[in-house]
Amino acid sequence: MTRWVQQSATDAGPGRRGGAAAAPDALLAAPELTRRLHAPLVALQAAMEVGPLWRSVRRLLRAAFAPHRVTLFLGHLGMGEARMVFTDPPIDHPEQWYAARGRVNPFSPYIEANRGLRFYRFCDVLPPRERFVRSEFYRRFARPEGWDKGVSALYWMRREVTAMFSLYRAPAQADFTEADLALLRILYPFIGAAVQRVQRLHTERLARRSLEEFNRNLPVGLVLLDWELRVEFANPEAQRLCARWNYGPAASRGLNPRDTFALPPAISEAARRLRTAILARDPRKLRLQPGEVALVEEAGVGLRSRVSVLNNASSSLARPKFLVILDAREPWAPGGEEPAERWRILRALTPREREIALLVREGQSNAEIAHGLSKSVLTIKTQLNSIFRKLGVKSRARLMARLR
């Protein structure tokens, strides 16, 4: 589903494969042009998100070429349509407009047939003007959008489009000149670098989100701290175990672990000691070894934690982080054949389901579990049915047998 944010359709296709043609010295040296492009180029290189990227691209291209319309196309999958399309000036009801426009758009087939080409002028694709203005595409779309000429630039990875932008000029405006195209080739890599930077940030963010989703269901508590010891991520099991550590087993059962989450002071202090040790070193020789960790135990509640330093030894641009792993000595840590099997079984459950399953194993009734966890009996029954379904058992007796 295309996300429309003042959007426009994919009006570009690979054009002539261009080495970046050298612009005339006068073009590069023009003080007025330099003044107009300076601020947009600075904003472009500072863009870290899609919104600022679009605004800086629009501002740069308007300052350089004074087009009637500017579009930016992002988020292509294969040779499909862009998932994010921005246009200025905006168009009313863009989703319906571009769905209809795409059915008669002459540019998409041109892209498909000329993969890898970086630039093209609309006159490379469209029929002569006297025929174009009589075409259905012109009457229904180009004329209402206010253009009859234009140029597009595309970015590729292997043989697939990754991004593109199009510039449109109105009938009263002149077509793009060779000087315009020379300037376009100069600006092309700057825009491409900014687009690639935002794409990489989005890719890294998705990878991090995927890891977080994976870690949410692990039967081990995981907490990530930044250099300032602020919590960046804590999975549900970490929230549950920290509540147990801070308030004790009995009191924590009646609490919402997410609302009451706080890292135990002893763990925070262990991370602080590791940070102090790092600061005492020669930072140019910082090489952290895998065994460099701090261990913290809370014997009264049967919990322990392991705090380690995460550092990219190949780069000093990112500050180290701290990974906290929390677990209970029983039954989470696999210490033999039976605990390892129990670990495998419990991984299929959410943290709350694991707690209920273990209470069933201890022989508690639904009413006893509900009272201890400050839940209704109906809620316990619902979660117990979910446990049965996930573990493939049909009774409490079978569940107890699997967990022993």
Cα–Cα distance measured from residue 87 to residue 105, given in angstroms and rounded to the nearest whole number: 16
Query: Cα 338 to chain center, whole Å?
Result: 39
Q: Tokens at residue 371, please?
A: 């009272």
Give the position of tokens 């963010």: 205
Specify whether the CB–CB gap between 315 and 262 falls below 8 A: no
Q: Tokens at residue 200, please?
A: 């990489």
Sign of CA dihedral 367, 369, 374, 376: negative
The contacts of residue 31 (CB under 8 Å, 6+ apart) are: none
Cα–Cα distance measured from residue 106 to residue 9, given in angstroms and rounded to the nearest whole number: 11
Give the pLDDT score at 314.
60
Cα–Cα distance measured from residue 32 to residue 285, given in angstroms and rounded to the nearest whole number: 48
Amino acid in position 384 = L
Environment class of 151 (CB within 10 Å of its CB; exposed 0-12, middle 13-18, buried 19+): buried
Q: Tokens at residue 281, please?
A: 């070193």
Cα–Cα distance measured from residue 55 to residue 58, given in angstroms and rounded to the nearest whole number: 5
Give the pLDDT score at 225.
93
CA torsion angle 331 336 340 341 (round to 10): -100
Q: Tokens at residue 372, please?
A: 């201890």
Specify whether the CB–CB gap between 393 and 399 falls below 8 A: yes
Environment class of 305 (CB within 10 Å of its CB; exposed 0-12, middle 13-18, buried 19+): buried
Of 146, 144, 140, 152, nearest in space to 169 by CA: 146
Of 242, 232, 237, 233, nearest in space to 221 by CA: 237
Of 322, 73, 360, nearest in space to 222 by CA: 322
C-alpha Rg value of the chain to the nearest Å: 30
Cα–Cα distance measured from residue 325 to residue 309, given in angstroms and rounded to the nearest whole number: 12
Domains of the chain, earliest start first: 3-206 (3.30.450.80), 217-329 (3.30.450), 331-404 (1.10.10.10)
Cα–Cα distance measured from residue 390 to residue 125, given in angstroms and rounded to the nearest whole number: 57
Q: Tokens at residue 300, please?
A: 């009264």
Give the pLDDT score at 153.
94
Enter the pTM of the model: 0.64
Give the pLDDT score at 361.
84
Q: What is the 3-state secondary structure (H, E, C) of 81-100?
A: CCCEEEEECCCCCHHHHHHH
Beta strands in 77-178 (DSSP E): 84-88, 119-121, 149-157, 160-169
Residue 138 burial (CB count, 10 A): 19
Along the 404 residues of the chain, how does pLDDT read in single tens digits?
Answer: 334 444 333 343 333 334 444 444 545 557 788 888 999 999 999 999 999 999 999 999 999 999 999 999 887 776 666 677 889 999 888 778 877 887 888 988 898 888 889 999 999 999 999 999 999 999 999 999 999 999 999 999 888 888 999 999 999 999 999 999 999 999 999 999 999 999 899 888 888 787 777 777 777 889 999 999 999 999 888 998 999 899 888 888 778 888 889 999 999 999 999 888 888 776 665 554 444 677 887 767 778 888 988 876 666 677 888 999 988 754 443 344 445 566 677 777 777 788 888 888 878 888 888 877 778 888 888 888 888 888 888 888 888 888 77
Specify whether the CB–CB gap between 175 and 123 falls below 8 A: yes
Amino acid in position 386 = S
Environment class of 219 (CB within 10 Å of its CB; exposed 0-12, middle 13-18, buried 19+): buried
Sign of CA dihedral 112, 114, 117, 119: negative
